């Protein structure tokens, strides 16, 4: 079997980003910075080392400057996309408490600043022009060129997810102090979880800001299937408010605390298990470096937890939800517990569909095909299967 394909993002880049996040947290705490200042420190301390590392790997690349008229149309399109996405968040009460219309100029300003910081001259203008040309083609009932359609869909992805990640990363970081006071016996658990998700959403924010060819993070393709988009969007506000938080609701997010309160040791071990799964989930995000993004192909990641499986983030996240919500425990008896388990299985099924659609999208890249073949032989589940087969044979002889 051929060797594991090289990851699109170097381990050095990811290590620098993770170290930067740790330094950012430490400086914010040591200097007594406000939540907003600490948030900016976290983003910059994580992003800048990764940008420099990837820029040194890929070097400057000259990009053509888009047509001015197309760029103007693109600015209008992008602004409307951001306005529309954030209007949905506000109208349907998205969970990202910081999402509001003031994030429109903040989001666009972040994109502009990071584009000028890590992109070749004209890169931002060219990307905006692609969106403009795609809209003009659609209005003229013509199919846009693939590059322009990719540009338009890429901006739509930014509009839908960047404001959310900006708000969530700030919310998680600002909740660290309050998490310490939530439960005297388990404050360590809530603080660690808040810090982990602050890192996760910070790296996601950086990913949506860093779609630059200069650092190799450009969007190569976007998913163009309705099932791919629907399965992804249903996991985020506002659709998650209508679906996951309504007809798939099963138990409160802290039910494990009450369930395990009778045994401090068991409660500690259960909390460590949740933290371990959450750490794997966050590690999977960090492994993307500055390239994290939903619904897009920006290079194949084969390092970190992706060396052991194709979907470590989804697997770890869904397993952690079983431990957090303990749906198999119910005062209403087996019928109610079964209904709760069935609801959580429904959420698991949505992520399974997401995994399948992402695999179908990425199979256009020969590197991913080679990676999938390597995982089928050398991945964690393959190794467990081989071990089980050897153990079964040994017990028979």
* Res 397: pLDDT: 66
* Res 304: pLDDT: 95
Using alpha carbons only, give the angle 154, 157, 159 rounded to the nearest 5 degrees: 110
* Full-model pTM: 0.88
Q: Let me know if 233 is exposed, middle or buried by CB neighbors in 10 A (0-12, 13-18, 19+).
A: middle
Using alpha carbons only, give the angle 38, 40, 46 rounded to the nearest 5 degrees: 100
CA distance 325 to 250: 8
* Res 298: pLDDT: 94
pLDDT < 50: residue spans in the chain? 62-65, 94-101, 120-121, 251-253
CA distance 381 to 379: 6
pLDDT tens column, 322-341: 999 888 887 777 888 888 88
* Res 95: pLDDT: 46
- Domain-wise residue ranges, the chain: 11-396
Residue closest to 217 by CA, chosen among 85, 53, 336 = 53
* Res 65: pLDDT: 46
Answer whether 202's CB lies under 8 Å from 42's CB.
yes
Sign of the Cα torsion 103, 106, 109, 113 reads: negative
* Res 124: pLDDT: 54
């Amino acid at each position: 079997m051929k060797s594991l394909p090289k990851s699109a993002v170097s381990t050095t880049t990811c290590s620098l980003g993770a170290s930067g996040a740790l330094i950012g947290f430490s400086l914010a705490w040591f200097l007594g910075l406000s939540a907003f200042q600490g948030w900016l420190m976290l983003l910059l301390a994580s992003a800048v080392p990764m940008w420099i590392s990837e820029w040194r790997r890929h070097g400057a690349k000259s990009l053509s400057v888009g047509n001015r008229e197309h760029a103007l149309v693109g600015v209008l399109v992008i602004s409307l996309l951001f306005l529309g996405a954030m209007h949905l968040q506000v109208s349907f009460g998205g969970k990202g408490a910081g999402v509001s219309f003031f994030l429109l100029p903040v989001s666009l300003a972040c994109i502009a600043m990071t584009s000028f910081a890590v992109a070749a001259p004209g890169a931002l203008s060219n990307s905006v022009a692609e969106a403009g040309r795609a809209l003009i083609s659609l209005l003229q009932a013509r199919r846009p060129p693939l590059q322009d359609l990719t540009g338009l869909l890429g901006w739509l992805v930014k509009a839908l997810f960047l404001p959310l990640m900006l708000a969530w990363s700030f919310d998680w970081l600002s909740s660290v102090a309050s998490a310490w006071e939530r439960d005297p016996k388990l404050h360590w658990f809530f603080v660690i979880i808040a810090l982990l998700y602050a890192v996760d959403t910070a790296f996601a924010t950086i990913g949506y800001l860093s779609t630059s060819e200069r650092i190799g993070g450009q969007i190569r393709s976007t998913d163009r299937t309705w099932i791919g988009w629907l399965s992804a969007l249903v996991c985020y506000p506002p659709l998650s408010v209508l679906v996951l938080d309504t007809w798939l609701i099963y138990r409160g997010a802290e039910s494990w605390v009450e369930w395990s309160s009778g045994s401090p040791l068991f409660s500690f071990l259960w909390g460590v298990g949740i933290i371990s799964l959450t750490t794997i989930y966050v590690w999977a995000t960090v492994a993307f470096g500055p390239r994290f993004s939903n619904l897009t192909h920006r290079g194949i990641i084969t390092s970190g937890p992706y060396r052991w499986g194709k979907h470590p983030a989804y697997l770890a996240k869904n397993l952690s939800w079983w431990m957090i919500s303990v749906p198999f425990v119910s005062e209403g008896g087996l019928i109610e517990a079964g209904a709760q388990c069935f609801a959580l299985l429904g959420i698991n099924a949505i992520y399974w569909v997401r995994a399948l659609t992402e695999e179908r999208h990425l199979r256009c890249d020969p590197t991913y095909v080679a990676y999938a073949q390597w995982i089928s032989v050398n991945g964690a589940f393959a190794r467990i299967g081989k071990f089980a087969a050897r153990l079964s044979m040994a017990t028979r002889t």
